[in-house]
Chains A and B, each alone.
Chain A
Amino acid sequence: MKIGVLALQGDFDAHRKRLEELGAEVVLVKKPEQLDGIDGLVIPGGESGTFLNLLGDAGFEKLKQFVRVKPTFGTCAGAILLATEVENPKQVGLGALDIRIRRNAYGRQIDSSIREGSFSGSPLEMVFIRAPKIERLGPGVEVIGTEGKDPVAVRQGKVMAATFHPELSTDSRVHRAFLELVSNGTR
């Protein structure tokens, strides 16, 4: 299984390590044409505005088509990129997840935290760094992770997103769930 990790900027190397530990072959994706040869894509944490900048119009369009047909998993900035609606400030999204997401919704770095949430019904450590919050869920979106009352991990078809950083915890369940999604295709 060949998994791409969008490597324009951010903590892509943490994702690479985790995916390789789980047996995936990883490609660091820096150019749009690299999307052609992969079975799934991870969009890492980082600065979502910087990602958009580096993608450019052509890269954005190519990625938009990719996420419509291939399994994709975004964490934090990656979740922001996948959304249909982005607030604080408003910015474009790939529209692969029918959610409204608010950037830096918990506050600044001083409000970053490690908390215990629930993923697929079991407790999971969640690392939130200047994290966004999902404010609206479309009808086709399934909540697969929560922290308190907030949905923090969601899925719609082949697309998954988390507002926290599973790549910065030792627990590999979230990445495992994504790799299962890649091998099973959609439901």
Chain B
Amino acid sequence: MSQNNGSSTSLRLKIGLAEMLKGGVIMDVTDYKQAEIAEKAGAVAVMALERVPAQIRAEGGVARMASPKKIREIMKAVSIPVMAKCRIGHFAEAQILQELGVDYIDESEVLTPADEAHHVDKHQFKTPFVCGARNLGEALRRIAEGAAMIRTKGEAGTGDVVHAVKHMRQIVQEMKILTVLSEEELYAKAKEHQAPYELVRMVAKAGKLPVPNFSAGGIATPADASLVMQLGAESVFVGSGIFMKNSTEFADPEEAEKRARAIVKATTHYLDAKVLLEVSEDLAGAMKGLAISGIDEAHMLQTRGW
């Protein structure tokens, strides 16, 4: 019992850390200075990146795992958990991130995929993984592969919350449906969702995912954070929305800290309109953003992942 070799022990520890992050805000940062601002503003964790999604979207090129040197600087600068992204299916990047000692690995559609058919076999790792999902089937496939946390994909780097909402509603609604079906109907549902029957059955019984379900992809304001929390998210990831002025320029650090504090408060008090008004009133503005309705499907990040 003193070793973490059993897979159920390992999964409990992985989910355990996700439990500790509930009701909090996980912020994207591109250097240790931003990480310090995030921690000071009340972030529960940071995601260490080379470029935030808005920059990746604007600049193009192949987006890969961040430089380990940069991630290490961030790990040294803050005492909260540090997450980092690997490309979909790039288990070698994941091995490097585990060796580096990051607290969570995000196998993310924001980076350029490394495998067109397979995701990382996350059971092979001691470090926990979070993965994006647009619907219940995708969430359960990732959990079957060993993900200990699910986040909605939304559309990263846009500052447009519409698909974070769409994906959260989709997952929640698909779970609700399972709870009223009979045993034999669940077999057909498993086929429809392309997900393991055992996991479908587990969701049908519990009415929720067997791992925490967070929201990401376009959350840019305190009101956005409250919206996804009210729709069923257990925490929020905020990417470009805090540190970006628009797709290419960073916001002034003071402004970024104000936004960060406001989103942290809004996530805790997501049902309290009085607090939401108060924190919204203090803000000068949000990132300019990019409306998803103007992006054609070939340029969407959310379609990556299988």
Chain A residues with CB under 8 Å of chain B are 7-14, 30, 45-47, 49-50, 53-54, 76-77, 88-89, 103-104, 107-110, 112-116, 125, 127, 129-130, 165, 168
**A9: chain B residues within 8 A (beta carbon):** 22-24, 44, 267-268
**B272: chain A residues within 8 A (beta carbon):** 30
Min distance, Cβ B48 to any Cβ of chain A, angstroms: 13
Q: What is the number of contacts between chain A and chain B, taking CB atoms within 8 Å?
A: 113
The reply to whether A114 and B9 form a contact with Cβ atoms under 8 Å apart is yes
Chain B residues with CB under 8 Å of chain A are 1-4, 9, 12-13, 16-17, 19-24, 39, 41-45, 75, 79-81, 98, 101-104, 126-128, 261, 264-265, 267-269, 272
Per the bound structure, the CA–CA distance linking A129 and B12 in Å amounts to: 10
Min distance, Cβ B272 to any Cβ of chain A, angstroms: 8
**B17: chain A residues within 8 A (beta carbon):** 109, 112, 129-130
Shortest Cβ distance from A114 into B: residue: B9
Per the bound structure, the CA–CA distance linking A13 and B16 in Å amounts to: 13
**B19: chain A residues within 8 A (beta carbon):** 10-11, 14, 45, 168
Per the bound structure, the CA–CA distance linking A54 and B24 in Å amounts to: 11
The reply to whether A125 and B1 form a contact with Cβ atoms under 8 Å apart is yes
Min distance, Cβ A118 to any Cβ of chain B, angstroms: 13
Per the bound structure, the CA–CA distance linking A137 and B180 in Å amounts to: 53
Max chain A C-beta neighbours (<10 A), residue from B4, B127, B128: B4
Per the bound structure, the CA–CA distance linking A109 and B105 in Å amounts to: 11
Min distance, Cβ B211 to any Cβ of chain A, angstroms: 13
Per the bound structure, the CA–CA distance linking A55 and B91 in Å amounts to: 40
Shortest Cβ distance from B269 into A: residue: A30
What is the predominant secondary structure among interface residues of chain A facing chain B? Answer: loop
The reply to whether B265 and A54 form a contact with Cβ atoms under 8 Å apart is yes
Contact A11 to B264, CB < 8 A, known contacts A110-B126, A113-B13, A114-B4? no
The reply to whether A77 and B20 form a contact with Cβ atoms under 8 Å apart is yes
The reply to whether A46 and B20 form a contact with Cβ atoms under 8 Å apart is yes
Known: A10-B19, A88-B79, A109-B104. 20 other contacts (CB 8 A): A9-B23, A9-B24, A10-B20, A10-B23, A10-B24, A11-B19, A30-B268, A30-B269, A47-B20, A47-B21, A47-B24, A49-B42, A50-B264, A54-B265, A89-B79, A107-B101, A108-B81, A108-B103, A112-B16, A129-B20
The reply to whether B44 and A113 form a contact with Cβ atoms under 8 Å apart is no
Per the bound structure, the CA–CA distance linking A94 and B275 in Å amounts to: 25
Per the bound structure, the CA–CA distance linking A76 and B16 in Å amounts to: 12
The one of A77, A107, A109 that contacts B81, using a Cβ cutoff of 8 Å: A109
Max chain A C-beta neighbours (<10 A), residue from B42, B81, B267: B42
Min distance, Cβ B257 to any Cβ of chain A, angstroms: 11
Per the bound structure, the CA–CA distance linking A110 and B66 in Å amounts to: 20
Min distance, Cβ B100 to any Cβ of chain A, angstroms: 10
Shortest Cβ distance from B267 into A: residue: A9
The reply to whether B2 and A115 form a contact with Cβ atoms under 8 Å apart is yes
Min distance, Cβ A8 to any Cβ of chain B, angstroms: 5
**B75: chain A residues within 8 A (beta carbon):** 108
Contact A11 to B20, CB < 8 A, known contacts A54-B268, A110-B101, A116-B1? yes
